[in-house]
Amino acid sequence: MVLTKECLAGTNSELAAQAVYHELKQSNDFIGFARRFIFSTEHHVARNSLWVLTKATDAELAQLQEMFHELTALAMRTGDSSVRRLSLNIVLRLKMEEEDLRTDFLDFCLEHMADVRELPGIQSLCLKLAFRMCQFYPELMEELKRTLEAMEMDYYTPAIKCVRNKILSGKTKRL
């Protein structure tokens, strides 16, 4: 199978996504695949290429480390919730160092984690990413905790409540 836009546009099942992933795994060109397809203006191509990348192991995704800022920019600028969720999922699985901290991305995560109109999956990913970024600076961590404590939890799903409670209780090993 040759990985093309047409192939990705037609990927509509878990089985098809796994087939594309196995082809990608054979080529071991995760960075080339990402650069070719995740920024596509064709919704299905961008979405499905990101979906395929979520199948990769953390070691395979490490190839995308050099695209860290491009992936965060994609998550912030897209109007497509699927592309946003999938790109945030990949960013969460990449290594994050202090020098990777971007205030625009932190602000984005803080805004979307607390937005009750946002999809719970995106809220959860933003909450986890905000936590990871705030860990580098105690003053930011205190601000994050104050924000979490001020959230009216009646409006959030159990998943968001769980992530919030783990952060507030310090049980963050599995975030």
What are the pLDDT digits (tens) for 4-32?
Answer: 999 899 888 999 999 999 999 999 999 99
pLDDT classification of 65: cutoffs 50, 70, 90: very high
Q: Could you tell me if residue 41 is inside a domain?
A: no
Residue ranges making up the domain that contains 132: 96-175
Q: Could you tell me if residue 128 is inside a domain?
A: yes
Q: Could you tell me if residue 171 is inside a domain?
A: yes
Q: Could you tell me if residue 37 is inside a domain?
A: no
CA distances from 95 to 43, 74, 98, 100 (A): 27, 17, 10, 9
Q: Could you tell me if residue 14 is inside a domain?
A: no
pLDDT classification of 77: cutoffs 50, 70, 90: very high
Q: Could you tell me if residue 79 is inside a domain?
A: no
Statement: the pTM of the whole predicted model exceeds 0.85 = yes
Contact 25, 60 (CB under 8 A): yes
Q: Could you tell me if residue 101 is inside a domain?
A: yes
Q: Could you tell me if residue 110 is inside a domain?
A: yes
